[in-house]
Amino acid sequence: MAAKPETIPDDIRKMAFEEALAALEQIVGKLESGEVSLEESIDIYTRGTYLKRHCQEKLKDAQARIEKITISDSGEPTGTEPFGEE
């Protein structure tokens, strides 16, 4: 059962960022080694694209949740605001 190109497979979607990144690093290592068949290269490359997209989504979600603590001129915390806003 092949996944649609735009759909990240469930087993990858369930991975934590660190787990997905480690799996992606293993795929890159295999591809760089040149010791896999063409068919396997295509399969693991495809899986790598899903892992990359999953990692990007995880990072985007984390960035959206990061808040920056705002400080008054006297040095007291005054609240928070979304990261990246001045």
Residues 10-19 pLDDT 10s: 999 999 999 9
From the CB of residue 27, how many other CB atoms can be counted at a distance below 10 Å?
21
Token pair for 3: 């996944």
Could you tell me the residue ranges of all domains in the chain? 12-82
- Fold assignment, 12-82: Helix Hairpins (1.10.287)
Q: How many other β-carbons are positioned within 10 Å of the β-carbon of residue 77?
A: 9
**Would the pLDDT of 1 be above 50?**
no
Provide the token pair at 21. 């990144």
**Is the model's pLDDT at 4 over the cut of 60?**
no
- Return the pLDDT at 3: 44
Q: Give residue for tokens 């190109």.
A: 5
Task: Report pLDDT digits (tens) over 52-85.
Answer: 999 999 998 887 777 677 777 887 777 777 666 5
